[in-house]
Amino acid sequence: MTCYSAKRQSTAFLDKHLRPRENARIAAHLNECADCAVYFEQVGSLCSGLNALPGVIAPAGLKTALRVLASRERQVVEQTHGSRWKLPWERWKFRLRVMMEPITIPAAGGLLSALMLFGTLLLAIDTNAVRASVGYEAPIMSTDDTNLVPIELRSKDVILTMSLDSDGHIQDYAVQDGTTSFTGDTARLQYNNIALPDFAGILTFAHPITSDIRIRFTPIAFRP
Amino acid sequence: MGQQYLGMPGKLSILAGAQAGVSDEDARILRGLRSGIEDAYEELIARYQGGVYGIVFRLLGNQNDASDVVQEVFLKIFRSVDSFREQSSLRTWIYRIAVNEAHNHRRWFSRHCCREVAVDEGIDPSESLKSAADPGRSPFEQALERENRTLIEQALDRINPVFRTAVILRDIENLSYEEIADILQVSLGTVKSRILRGRDALRRELTLEHGFAEAFI
């Protein structure tokens, strides 16, 4: 018998699970091999040490907790009368409830926060509210020529002068483009807007010429 | 009406071999659990609470974790009693659940690294161990014995959990090879192999740390 095979059977030998013949073979090997004898002695001492370890005492509250658990489960069994279908259903309901509990409060809090945040944003971007406080109609772009200033704008320095009434409507206006000027007829204006013509400089040579456009605008502040 | 169930404190015993199926007593407890009889629940807790807690505590090494896991184990027992086919003994079935739950708990903790700091963490866990003072031994011998126990427990904590389970079930809980095979759902050969490797690993740990001869004077 080799040391390897003897050690492999040390568990069964020490636990007395070997047949007498195998037992005798190992005993004979241990008589001849000092290393194996030491090994078996050490493992044997270890097993005795493990066996001598004291038992563990469960905490005092554990039994009570188990009884509470048992009582709850027994109640479920009683309510469902051990029904094959009702019992698993009740247990699934319980599991679902237990699963949802940890996320219920954060989910509710998140929903409430979202409602508050977007509710505030909705109020802020409501144009009716803005209109109501200012009382000004937003101008609608018109393609009608009545609003078009009938002069060709050639210079880079166009001066548009207009005066507004308390409702924001244009009372009179004038456009000056270099030496050319035009005074508008407000009676003909539609939707309270003035349309400026294309700047000729862009289209003269059939290719775009980039240029900065400056419109000098002199507002007349109206204080009621 | 339900039969009377006498409360018996749980005691472990060495069996010559694993029981094939449940005993009459266990069958009675199972019938009581399935019918919702209170005494059956009480007896189950009284019989197995200590053993289950002992195994789980040895596997996890922490009192709070062991308490939590034991409650999980019993909850599982109560809820899956209907599906227990009674092909093994009630004890091996319960211990199987206990070992699996302890392993799952350790895996979950190692994955999430959420280790709660217990308020009483400063307390030596060995205080939860029974220490019956033997009047025949001197204080020196008792101190030596305590130190040996600590060394063994520390070494046990360091070995592979798979081998540790086998060694705990065999050498501490005194279960037979067949019962261990039933609990761990492995073959007899695998049980013997795991016990062998567990003991060998323990021996090496003790030799490396303290020199075996010094550890076991």
The more confidently predicted of residues A108 and B110 is A108
ipTM of the complex: 0.74
Give the best residue of A57, A64, A84, A93 to mutate against chain B (max B CB count within 10 A).
Answer: A57
Q: Give B10-16's long-range contacts (Cβ < 8 A, gap of 24+).
A: B10/B46, B10/B47, B10/B48, B10/B49, B10/B50, B10/B51, B12/B51, B12/B173, B12/B174, B12/B175, B13/B174, B14/B174, B14/B176, B15/B175, B15/B176, B15/B179, B16/B176
Please report the sign of the dihedral spanned by the C-alpha atoms of residue B166, residue B167, residue B170, residue B173. Answer: negative
Q: What is the pLDDT of residues A69-90, one digit of tens each?
A: 999 888 878 777 666 567 677 7
For A47, nearest residue in chain B (alpha carbons): B171
Q: What is the pLDDT of residues B55-75, one digit of tens each?
A: 999 999 888 999 999 999 999
List CB contacts of A62: < 8 A, sequence separation 6 or more.
B49, B53, B67, B70, B71
Query: With an 8 Å Cβ cutoff, is A88 touching chain B?
Result: no
B41: three-class secondary structure by DSSP: helix
What is the structure's pLDDT at A151? 75
- Taking the C-alpha atoms of residue A13 and residue A67, their distance in angstroms, rounded to an integer, is 43
SS3 content of chain A, % helix, strand, coil (to 5): 55, 15, 35
- Taking the C-alpha atoms of residue A189 and residue A139, their distance in angstroms, rounded to an integer, is 12
CB–CB of B170 and A69 under 8 A?
no
What is the structure's pLDDT at B42? 93
The more confidently predicted of residues B183 and A206 is B183
Give the best residue of A17, A22, A50, A69 to mutate against chain B (max B CB count within 10 A).
Answer: A50
| Across B189-196, average pLDDT | 94
At residue B122, does pLDDT exceed 60? no
Query: With an 8 Å Cβ cutoff, is A15 touching chain B?
Result: yes
CB–CB of B53 and A46 under 8 A?
no
At residue A52, does pLDDT exceed 60? yes
Residues 38-57 of A with CB under 8 A from B: 39, 42-43, 45-47, 49-57
| Across B77-97, average pLDDT | 90
At residue A8, does pLDDT exceed 70? yes
Structural domains of chain B in order of their starting residue, each with its CATH number: 19-116 (1.10.1740.10), 139-217 (1.10.10.10)
Taking contacts as CB-CB distances below 8 angstroms, the residues of chain A near B171 are: 47, 50-51
Are B156 and B163 in contact, with CB atoms under 8 Å apart?
no
Q: DSSP string of A76-136?
A: HHHHHTT-TTHHHHHHHHHHHHHHHHHHHHHHHHHHHHHHHHHHHHHHHT-HHHHHHHH--
Q: What is the pLDDT of residues A32-41, one digit of tens each?
A: 999 999 999 9
Of B183, B164, B185, residue with least CA distance to B175: B183
Question: Which amino acid, one-letter code, is at B148?
Answer: N
The more confidently predicted of residues A137 and B25 is B25
Question: Which amino acid, one-letter code, is at A141?
Answer: M
The more confidently predicted of residues B201 and A179 is B201
At residue A108, does pLDDT exceed 70? yes
What is the structure's pLDDT at A36? 92
At residue A150, does pLDDT exceed 50? yes
Q: Please, which pLDDT band fits residue A92 given cuts at 50, 70 and 90?
A: confident
Question: Which amino acid, one-letter code, is at A104?
Answer: T
Give the Å distances, CA to CA, from B16 to A16, B19, B35, B163: 12, 9, 32, 22
Q: Which H or E element spans position A173?
A: strand A170-177
Nearest CB partner across the interface for A45, out of B50, B196, B216 = B216
At residue B6, does pLDDT exceed 60? no
Taking contacts as CB-CB distances below 8 angstroms, the residues of chain B near A98 are: none
Residue located via tokens 């567990």: B198
Nearest CB partner across the interface for A63, out of B45, B130, B200 = B45
What is the structure's pLDDT at A159? 83
What is the structure's pLDDT at A177? 81
Give the best residue of A77, A79, A85, A98 to mutate against chain B (max B CB count within 10 A).
Answer: A77
| Across A107-117, average pLDDT | 86
Q: Averaging pLDDT over each range in A63-67, A160-164, A219-223, which range is the top one?
A: A63-67
Q: Please, which pLDDT band fits residue B1 given cuts at 50, 70 and 90?
A: very low
- Taking the C-alpha atoms of residue B37 and residue A71, their distance in angstroms, rounded to an integer, is 10
